[in-house]
Amino acid sequence: MPEPITPVTFPPAFLWGAATSAYQIEGAVREGGRTPSIWDTFSHTPGKTAGGETGDIAVDHYHRYRDDVALMAELGLSTYRFSISWSRVQPTGRGPAVQVGLDFYRRLVDELLAAGIKPAVTLYHWDLPQELEDAGGWPERDTAFRFAEYAQIVGEALGDRVENWITLNEPWCSAFLGYASGVHAPGRTEPVASLKAAHHLNLAHGLGTSALRVAMPARNSVAISLNSSVVRPLSPGDPADLAAVQKIDDLANGVFHGPILRGAYPETLLAATSSLTDWSYVQEGDLRAIHQPLDALGLNYYTPTLVSGADASVRGPRSDGHGASDHSPWPGADDVAFHLTPGDRTEMGWSIDPTGLHELIMRYTAEAPGLPLYITENGAAYDDKPDSDGRVHDPERISYLHGHLAAVRRAIADGADVRGYYLWSLLDNFEWAYGYEKRFGAVYVDYATLTRTPKSSALWYSQAARTGTLAPTETN
């Protein structure tokens, strides 16, 4: 018999949460004055999503939010991270807010507070208003200023009751999956545009942070959530593989944390992309605007990345875990090969490696000393199905969560200031280009009836949230 894992106990003030995003759960895409976002357009374009599925209804959280908050309370969550639909609040991405849109989020926040759950607001989770994309999208400088205006609107509306704010979620995906590989909205495949988008997302973060601080009480916390990659060489002693690690680390991590945390882009990044761009779109004062002091940093982690040097003339499928496309999300990195990392895998094909989360936390503990950290996304997709009694048993997800939460606790013991964890995701939902094929939720959703059923992992996580202790589980 395998030995049970020793119970792990967290600090009393540690926050236990779950996360979602607006387009993935809300539905009601034509209600209350909301206009299309890039994800409405993309998902309605034939061939862009699995089965042509869209977020038109999603899991109808817009109408069922009270029940969903009651479910969170039953599970004992202390915090809930959700995103605001820019198109619901400011339909054209310009001008005054639509109050009925803001009222939905006011009601949601009030419901959470009444249930004793701390709301954490993410302003942007990939759903740019389509009219701003029609004007050029994130590769256009003006979009950053439009974001700052939007941030001020939402900050003024909710800042008296919401203390924890996140400007952008995973800007890497917005820039490089949206504008380089095209597997995410808006589906463009323009390497230079993707680098411009990355810079303007950074600028949006900086300008948005400043706008929030003007609009809100000083007690509130402003952060950003980065899906920073843990990049490892196929052969640690091979100089070509180590050079590949540097290149991908710059494109995955340095392009964002360089200007945000240090006020400068890595010189190695500028050199690696010099054949594509001279970065002249970085204007005087931009880096000062981006380099705003943060109150916290959000880290999203799922799986590590394994790379080696390669012949740039040889093209083939990339095992980088970011969807199938003839176009790379890694501009200037054609001489890098991606490899499947070893070990068990989730339904996304991603390897399960909690050591990567510990490594990521400790990296940012060293690179941003004194900055509180939150794990703002971590979770796994599995092929969950109800049994004959209607129960959904997902022991693989329990094992995944135990391993990664134990890695968080180990990092805390090693001196990291990690203050909370947000499981991805609260509910099964629209999983972007994968449609409804991939289930990340701790709560099962029957898409025909929209009935919610907590999986066994939700009950396990509930116990952890209530006790601050990870229940022992047997290794496989």
- Angle, alpha carbons 223-226-232 (nearest 5°): 145
CA-based max dimension of the chain: 64
- Is residue 367 among the annotated active site residues? no
Q: How many residues does the chain have?
A: 476
Using the 8-state DSSP alphabet, how is residue 50 labeled?
Answer: G
Q: Are β-strands 373-378 and 297-300 bridged in parallel, bridged antiparallel, or unpaired?
A: parallel
Of 371, 228, 375, 242, nearest in space to 304 by CA: 228
CA atoms of 337 and 324, how far apart (whole Å): 15
Determine if the peptide bond prior to 386 is cis (ω within 30°).
no
Identity of the amino acid at 454: P
Of 83, 33, 191, 200, nearest in space to 133 by CA: 200
Of 451, 415, 215, 417, nearest in space to 297 by CA: 417
26, 53, 111, 377: the catalytic one is: 377
CB 352 within 8 A of CB 400: yes
Q: b vs e for 398-428, b when ≥16 Cβ sit within 10 Å of the residue's Cβ?
A: bbbbbbbbbbbbbbbeeebbbbbbbbbbbbb
The rounded Cα 129 to chain-centroid distance in angstroms is 19
- Is residue 377 among the annotated active site residues? yes
Please write down the HEC assignment for all residues of 176-188.
Answer: HHHHCCCCCCCCC
111, 140, 170, 396: the catalytic one is: 170
Give the active site residues. Answer: 170, 377
